Amino acid sequence: MISKSSDHILERMMALHPKVIDLTLDRVWRLLESLGNPQLSLPPVIHIAGTNGKGSTQAMVRAGLEGAGKTVHAYTSPHLAYFHERIRIAGKLITEDALTNQLDACYNSNNGEAITYFEITTCAALRAFSQVRADYTLLEVGLGGRLDATNVINSPAACIITPIDLDHQQFLGDTISQIAYEKAGILKRGVTAIVGPQHDEALQVIEKQAAKVGAPLLVHGQHWYVNVEAERLIFEDENGLLDLPLPSLSGPHQLKNAGSALATLRYLRMEENDFTSAVTEAVWPARMERLRTGFLASSLPQNELWLDGGHNPAAGRAIAATLGGLPTRDTHIICGMLNTKDVEGFLRPISRHCKSLTAFTIPNEPNAVPAEELAKAGIACGLKCVEAEDLGQILKEISHLYPGTRILICGSLYLAGHVLRENRKIN
């Protein structure tokens, strides 16, 4: 395979700052200024923060807007298989040529100054968005919100805060209230924010920050409601009731994400058909996604193969709820995680729905939890555990020992990306 030009530039960018994460906006403002402030020339922005559900909510908002015939830019992170997934311009993933041009421009304008990988690539995305007409721009926060590189939009069209829970405590604080303060940093004066389901302590912080900056809120359980009745999604707010199909994205947690997306589309005054598109047309890889085709999936004719990139305790609870709602079938999990995560907190709720865990060290990830350590965490959660090194061999052994069962690969977006790349191989 011929190496892409963008890969070389991205590698150079990694060396521009000694830390992978260093939360401040000073470097971003400096580079944006040298680029001519592209953030001031974007189509109306919808800014999305939260711990879980950001990507799924963005996907549903985008599906609704595109169902209405709108053109939409979208920015998300991290990518799964290829960096290009982070930047979608007017509905399509950025091309290699366009990405290379944007990265080159930002690298040259930065002039060797210190800047993190996420900061400079975010600037590249904003510059790309500013040069192509669209009706909306969807910006997903990378980490936190208050000091995130995406938090440079003075007057978004709307903000969304999805459910907040414990994650990235080493950067955002070790309580839900502290993390909520960082997430609520995206709120802006006069800009309405749609707030998904929250722990009480998180909602208190969001409401306090909203009052401080003068941001109107549309809060789940106060201003809008979403439930399931007779296998239909029922959404209700002051404008009335919507009776819609269940979300195409798997899992009961997607109901709340759909509610946030529908509340946003309602606020933007979309039509009823657009709401149907939001819940039925959204696609978001590696979120309880069943892999039906591809190199890995085709090697398991008798087993179901599922993939999820969730990696914190709340994600573990969401996966467990999804497994509990699927047709009865033994489930065996393959798990790989990073050492910055709460491994037992993630595994414990899932363990109640699984027969075994195969611990796997994520390839080429220096912060990966060693399989031996991950297996110990699984044993502590009451799981039968084994360790393995080769994904293909793991799948082969599970399918041989347990034909007709469900196999779930989970624990990390980085692992999910590895799986998707492997699944795209040609037999």
CATH number of the domain to which 14 belongs: 3.40.1190.10
Q: Are 197 and 216 part of one and the same domain?
A: yes
* DSSP code, position 38: G
Average pLDDT, the chain: 94
Among candidate residues 266, 276, 282, the one with its CA nearest the CA of residue 245: 276
Q: Is the pLDDT of residue 427 over 60?
A: no
Beta strands in 280-402 (DSSP E): 289-290, 304-307, 331-335, 356-360, 384-388
Q: Are 317 and 236 part of one and the same domain?
A: no
Where in the sequence is the domain holding 223, given as residue range(s)? 5-280
Q: Are 37 and 180 part of one and the same domain?
A: yes
Q: Is the pLDDT of residue 213 over 70?
A: yes
Over range 47-61, report the average pLDDT: 97
Q: Are 230 and 305 part of one and the same domain?
A: no
Confidence band for 170, pLDDT divided at 50, 70 and 90: confident
Over range 221-242, report the average pLDDT: 97
pLDDT the model gives residue 8:
87
pLDDT the model gives residue 20:
65
Residue identified by tokens 């890995």 is 296
β pairing state of 304-307 and 289-290: antiparallel
Over range 160-181, report the average pLDDT: 90
Q: Is the pLDDT of residue 19 over 80?
A: no
Q: Are 172 and 226 part of one and the same domain?
A: yes
pLDDT the model gives residue 2:
41
397-422: per-residue pLDDT in tens?
A: 999 999 999 999 999 999 999 999 99
Q: Are 261 and 353 part of one and the same domain?
A: no
Q: Are 119 and 205 part of one and the same domain?
A: yes
Last residue of a domain, one of 280, 315, 346: 280
d(CA 294, CA 271): 37
Helix axis angle, 343-351 to 371-380, nearest 10°:
50
Q: Are 276 and 335 part of one and the same domain?
A: no
Over range 345-373, report the average pLDDT: 95
β pairing state of 217-219 and 193-195: parallel
- Give whole-number Cα distances, 10 to 88, 90, 104, 320, in Å: 18, 23, 9, 36
pLDDT the model gives residue 421:
93
Find the helix or strand (DSSP H, E) in which 87 lies: strand 87-89
299-350: per-residue pLDDT in tens?
A: 999 999 999 999 999 999 999 999 999 999 999 999 999 998 999 999 999 9
Over range 272-286, report the average pLDDT: 94
Q: CB-hemisphere CA count at 13 Å for 205? A: 20
Last residue of a domain, one of 251, 280, 309: 280
Q: Are 298 and 401 part of one and the same domain?
A: yes
* Residue 306 burial (10 A CB sphere; 0-12, 13-18, 19+): buried
Q: Are 343 and 398 part of one and the same domain?
A: yes
pLDDT the model gives residue 18:
64
Residue identified by tokens 């930065």 is 110
pLDDT the model gives residue 17:
77
Lowest mean pLDDT among 51-60, 123-132, 160-169, 248-257: 160-169
CB 31 within 8 A of CB 115: yes
pLDDT the model gives residue 426:
55
Q: Is the pTM of this model over 0.75?
A: yes
Q: Are 128 and 252 part of one and the same domain?
A: yes
Q: Are 268 and 311 part of one and the same domain?
A: no
In DSSP terms, 243 is beta-bridged to 234
CB 379 within 8 A of CB 209: no
Confidence band for 1, pLDDT divided at 50, 70 and 90: very low
Contacts of 35 (CB under 8 A, 6+ apart): 105, 106, 109, 123, 127
* Residue 273 burial (10 A CB sphere; 0-12, 13-18, 19+): exposed
Cα-Cα-Cα-Cα dihedral sign, residues 423, 167, 140, 83: negative
Supply the CATH number for residue 370's domain: 3.90.190.20
- Domain count along the chain: 2
Residue 258 phi, psi dihedral angles, 5° rounding:
-60, -40
Last residue of a domain, one of 249, 280, 311: 280
